[in-house]
Amino acid sequence: MKRGARTVADALVLAALVSYAIPFFWQLLTSFKPEAELLRVPPLLPNQLTLAHYRAVVEKSLMPQALANSFGIATLTTLLALALGIPGAYAVARLPLPGKRFLLLAIVASTAFPQIATVSPLYLLMRALDLRDTWSGLVLVHTSFALPLTIWLLAGFIREIPIEAEEAASVDGAGLPGLFRWVVIPLLAPGLAATALLTFLFSWNEFLFAYTFTVSEASRTIPVALALFPGVFEVPWGDIAAASMLASLPPVLIVVGLQRFLVRGLVAGAVKE
Amino acid sequence: MRSRAWFAPLGAFLVWLLMLGGCVGRPEGEPVTLVFKYARILGSADPLPGLLRAFETAHPGVRVKGEALPWTSDDQHQLYVINLEGRSPGFDVLMLDCIWVPEFARAGWLADLTTHLTPDELAPHFASAVTAGMYNGRVWALPWNMNVGLLYYRTDLLARYGLRPPETYEELIAAVKQIRDGERDPALEGYLWQGKQYEGLVVNVLEAFWANGTRLLGEDGTILPEPARAADALRFLRGLIEARLSPAWTTAADEELSRRAFGDGHAIFLRNWPYAMDLFQAAGSAVRGKVAFASLPGRARGAAGAGSTGGAHLAVSRRSRHPELAVALARHLTSRPAQRAIALGAALSPTRRDLYHDPELVQARPDMPRLDGLMLAGRPRPVTPAYLLVSSTVQPEFSAALVGVKSPERAIADARGRLNYFLEGIR
Amino acid sequence: MTRREAVNRRRGILLMAPTVLALGTLTVYPGVWVVWLSLQHRHPIFGVSRFAGLDNYTFLAVDSRFSSAAVTTFVFTVTSVALEVVLGVTAALAIHAQQGGRRVALSLLLLAWAMPAVVTAKLFEWLYHPTAGLLNVALGGHALNWLGDPRLALPAVVLADVWRTMPFVAVLCYARLLAIPAELYEAAQVDGAGRLATLVRITLPMLGRILLVAILFRTLDALRAFDLMFVLTGGGPAGTTETITVYAYRALFQTLQLGFGSALGVVVFALVMAVAWAYLRLLRTSTVTA
């Protein structure tokens, strides 16, 4: 394609994608629109911008606490999933295991588990263990759901590591911890980042379990806080828009900022196919 | 051999995060905090904070934390059910829709209040409100505010055509036709009511059942004892929509949507609760001074209309860490001064009958004495622990009939079949 | 077995043990327990807990609300996945063809996918607002009752879901496109193949496998979909957006019918497993090798 035509085509594609993201930008605009102008459309653009909605959300709503809860739970989930997943993925990728085929099948099948199927027993379990309305309960449940995918992804990445590197380490006399510390984890870094990112995202965005297992601000996560956003007479669209933006900020920043890792991780997986 | 220097700090960080997460639990100590869960109050001013502060002043060292419930009745119920069954502490005083009291009492989530009350303490309240708060002869919740379904109408429009408030639905329909023919305003709707798939729909359908001389649960607990009449009532409601006497969006309308449309002057009749009157009479309202309410109509062949009663009660959680204080708070909030303040400041009607003739209240809300009589004439929804089960089972059937995807007969038959199975399951 | 193999075998068990424990207690055990629950009448509110055999399932077989939910689930899944795949491949091809601005393009696309489904639901609830929603403003005088009209609610939900998940398919395809060796294209050019022929003969077949994977993931997700319709419509006007999952959740936690709700959960479970099994057989040729 000629240079000029290509540039025009590029611009068109970008324009199309900007239009695709319009729902997001509209919500962003709404969060800055004064209350009085919200329901009076057209005109689409407001006369002035205001921070009133953000102030209302930060000062009077439960969102700040929910943000802290979400952040803590997602971080702990990621750490726990990696702590369990890295050794597990290594075992799957490199070591002979009794009943490995069955194990793999079970792990793959677990990725397909519908949450609705396990929510009733887990509800009874959490009630018995008194883990409702705590971070631990939700972290455990999120981890159990993220673990199969974590292992599957990491196993794929581990297979990329040249076997010579591991053999060199064992020749050097490194035990299992040494092997992980000096060979596996460093070489796994980009795949690790992609997996950690996906796990964090999953935990942050998860709704069904969070809705069922959280009660109060002590453990309520962002999606639940947003779904239960209180209104009096009418729905406070502006406040909800501001809360939505705050809720999306971390995941959007992560995904957009680390998209290179994401794509690279997927490319590696795709090449392996 | 290798330094594991990063294990310890990481471990410590994790432990710190876990402790932050509250798995250690909330510490007890001064001050004692009571948690009061309630739905936000509609009205010009919110009198609740003042009442809570008054309680704190009377009980030094006690803090009362008011926590908002979700907006809709069904969402509130779901939150309560998940958490009360999940044995969460952290609820002390609960605002309950009156229809939940037998259910929650049966489930063992509420504290028995009977021994905390003096013998005639509940006498000043409406008898139906007191009964709604009882189960198996014990008192489980104190009446807090009261509702009854009313027919709102535009006095100016009816006067213009020399009509009086309709006593039957047939009269109502005739009035709508006459007024719309005369006004020739395409934006003027006839009769607004709530047809969205939620608890409010069941209220509206029950009122239609009663107007047609039938009911949802028979005396002996039979489900839909006269299915033909029930189907007929459903057909009547569906007919209102088909004939455009009620707008098509009725099937998506809740109290607020219908109230807003009527309050903007776009309808002749509205079925709603007493709170709406306050908003219609507010300054700047398009229908200020042009609205009155009457009892809901019946059907021409004899059954008198009745509005459904409703309202909120206050109960104490059985797992409350401070039961005595919680009961004191509940009694404080349902006391005469408190109910009076709420009636004045918000748009909620009290359950104490003498307040309906209180001079100051009557001056602020001239309709109070009439409301007293209408409350007495109201009918409660079935008072049974299984009410929510029944309601959530029939909601989709009624909605399907209103939307037109099922015939009324089929909807009633399906409702009976499903109710039979579910109620059998809890026997 | 050599000593080396014995050491490795022990290591394998050691490394795998925590995972097996976690998954066993939190996924497998509940997975079995839910089946047991589904065979009971279990109502904590009424203190009922008794064996019911297959009663819940025989009831479901004739329950009109269930068949309606099943149809809704099916329609939602099929239309959602079809639209995502078509749009996703198109987007991937468009971005892949770009000379510059790919990162910006990907970022714009990933905006939709990054946020929680609840945020998307609130976003679209505002977009679909009867008077102030952007859609109805754009439609001018022909405003539609998106979330209140029983005929429009499901398409509205599908639209929101496609918007949210199409980027996932697009990025997956884009990554695959990046991995196609340039020599293939050069060889085609030398052979004199036009753009369309290149697309059909080289690009699309190379995308084939990754598309199957994407379709598998998206189908499983769509079958289990909950967040979006629960928050956006709550099951919709007259149950038109009520999927089996939403029905199950209501049964479980609105009325605490733990036995009946579990039966619905088991149905979703079986459905998802059946679909997964069917797809995996399709992919059998070159799955993740053990």
Q: Which pLDDT score, from 0 to 100, does residue B332 have?
A: 94
Q: Is the residue at C122 inside a domain?
A: yes
Residues B205 and B234: beta-carbon distance below 8 Å = yes
Distance between CA atoms of residues B43 and B25, nearest Å: 37
Distance of CA C17 to the CA centre of its chain: 30
Name the amino acid, one letter, at C244: I
| B258–chain C Cβ distance below 8 A for any pair | no
- Alpha-carbon separation of residue C224 from B227, C227, C275 (angstroms): 37, 9, 12
Structure tokens at C258: 């733990």
Structure tokens at B259: 């109230």
Of C123, C220, C288, the CB nearest to A23: C123
Q: Is the residue at C270 inside a domain?
A: no
Distance between CA atoms of residues C177 and A271, nearest Å: 10
pLDDT, mean over chain C: 87
Q: In this model, does residue B299 exceed pLDDT 90?
A: no
Tens digits of residue pLDDT in B38-93:
887 765 567 888 899 999 999 988 999 888 888 788 888 888 888 888 777 778 99
Element (DSSP H or E) covering residue B375:
helix B368-377
Q: In this model, does residue A265 exceed pLDDT 70?
A: no
User: Do B21 and A233 count as a contact with CB atoms less than 8 A apart?
Assistant: no
Q: Is the residue at C258 inside a domain?
A: no
Of A91, A98, A247, the CB nearest to C119: A247
Q: Which pLDDT score, from 0 to 100, does residue A183 have?
A: 76
Could you tell me the CATH number of the domain that includes residue C89? 1.10.3720.10
| B411–chain C Cβ distance below 8 A for any pair | no
User: Do C129 and A237 count as a contact with CB atoms less than 8 A apart?
Assistant: yes
Radius of gyration of chain B, Cα coordinates, nearest whole angstrom: 24
Tens digits of residue pLDDT in A119-168:
999 999 988 887 777 888 899 999 999 999 889 888 888 887 888 877 77
B90 phi-psi bin (left φ>0, alpha ψ -120 to 50, beta other): left
Query: What is the reported pTM?
Result: 0.88
* Alpha helix positions (H), chain C: 3-23, 29-38, 55-62, 64-96, 102-114, 117-127, 134-138, 153-179, 182-190, 195-198, 204-223, 227-232, 244-253, 258-283
pLDDT, mean over chain A: 84
SS3 A236: coil
Radius of gyration of chain C, Cα coordinates, nearest whole angstrom: 24
| C274–chain A Cβ distance below 8 A for any pair | no
Distance between CA atoms of residues C42 and C48, nearest Å: 5
Q: Is the ipTM of this complex over 0.90?
A: no
Distance of CA B265 to the CA centre of its chain: 25
B194 DSSP 8-state letter = -
Q: Is the residue at C69 inside a domain?
A: yes
Residue A92: band (very low, low, confident or very high) from pLDDT cuts 50, 70, 90: confident
Q: Is the residue at C164 inside a domain?
A: yes
SS3 B317: strand
pLDDT < 70: residue spans in chain C: 1, 285-290
- Name the C residues in 98-127 with CB < 8 Å from any A CB: 98-101, 103-119, 121-124, 126-127
Q: Is the residue at C214 inside a domain?
A: yes
* Residues written for chain A: 273
User: Which among B2, B10, B81 is the top mutation candidate for probing chain A, defined by the most A β-carbons within 10 Å of its own β-carbon?
Assistant: B2
Dihedral pair phi/psi, residue C99, rounded to 5°: -85, -45
SS3 B310: strand
Radius of gyration of chain A, Cα coordinates, nearest whole angstrom: 23
The answer for residues whose C-beta is within 8 angstroms of residue B8's C-beta and 6 or more apart is none
- Nearest Cα to A193, choosing from A261, A252, A147, A259? A261
Instruction: Please list the residues that pair with A258 across neighbouring strands.
Output: none
Distance between CA atoms of residues C186 and C205, nearest Å: 17
What is the domain range of residue C151?
61-240
CA atoms within 13 A on the CB side of B134: 11
Tally of structural domains, chain C:
1
Q: Is the residue at C230 inside a domain?
A: yes
Q: Is the residue at C209 inside a domain?
A: yes
